[in-house]
Structure 1
């Protein structure tokens, strides 16, 4: 799960089923884009 906290609110940015040790780059990119959208 990727989340961001705004005061008392927590926003789920992205969730995926992890199948290895590292998070896939596409999932990280998606979460970062959604965080940028949430902050604007």
Structure 2
């Protein structure tokens, strides 16, 4: 399997997405029902 190669821009974009997801959860924009289908991960 080849190594994972990411540009700095791609890393920054991924971090921004995760940061926004955490912010949304912390202010109540995401309910338990919204993520229930992911609970088995």
TM-score, L = length of structure 1: 0.44
Task: Identify, as 1 or 2, the structure richer in helix.
Answer: 2
TM-score, L = length of structure 2: 0.43
Task: Identify, as 1 or 2, the structure richer in strand.
Answer: 1
Look at both structures and tell me which one has the larger radius of gyration over its CA atoms: 2
Larger RCO (CA within 8 A; separation ≥ 6): 1
